[in-house]
Structure 1
Amino acid sequence: MKKILLSALCLASISFTAVHASSIGISSEINSRNHKSTSNIQSNWDDAVVTDAMSNFKSLSRVERKARVKEVKKYLKEYKENAANATGSNDKVLLAILAILLPPLSVYLHEGTTNNTFWISVVLTLLFWIPGVIFALITVL
């Protein structure tokens, strides 16, 4: 968790040091690549920029550092919420296949815990398997 927070702080500090980045030639690199996505640009930054951003962050006053840490925590919270809500279509296809082969497993993976839905799926699967498959498909999809 400390590494994630430290890297997020570095990225926040880097975003505030854009003026310094232009003095070492990153802005010309960005312009030469026709404004590609920021993830591609960030992967091309060298260690000097990160080190400089960390030193700039450490040189801030305590109040400013706390404000930036609070801002980064807010961004991390938003990221975690978005990551938890985002499920791809590949996950649904995999869960549908598992619902046919092993209905309780697909329900468990979809729900994340062994709750009442999981136990209903187990009972239905043990009874005649087809009701378990139908229940799992309804639950997963």
Structure 2
Amino acid sequence: MWSHYADFHKGFNIGYNESKMRNSGLFGKGGPIMYSDEYPHLDAFTKHTIESSFQQTHFKSKEWEYEEEYRLSKLFFPKPPTEADRTIKVPFEFVEEINLGIKISPKDQAEILKLANDLDIKVFQTEKVPFKFKLTRNQIL
């Protein structure tokens, strides 16, 4: 997923405290993403239900199935979600760790290390495992 979401290992990802996320009250539901070759049918003239809300937030194309994504989201019931509803600001205190990509720039790495040090967040450097199709990580802060 580094190639899709972190600019081919030049970026970073954030690890959140799952317990804090689940118990925060910021989210109304969670569940595994459903993968399909077909876009879910959403009928604007049918009564909005919890199931239709779930369809709007928990479906992706089958080509992403390897991600095995689990998603937390707001509960959009009884009204359908707006674009603004789909954004949740997660507090910094929910951040457990930051994982740096293999090719992150020295400038970006320095900025992240300073912020993480100020906020007492663990930082890991992602590295290739020699002669294997595998990544590992080592804590650097």
Superposition TM-score, scaled by structure 2 size: 0.27
The structure with the greater share of residues assigned to strand is 2
The structure with the greater share of residues assigned to helix is 1
Of structures 1 and 2, the larger Rg is shown by 1
Superposition TM-score, scaled by structure 1 size: 0.27
Higher RCO (CA 8 Å, separation ≥ 6 residues): 2
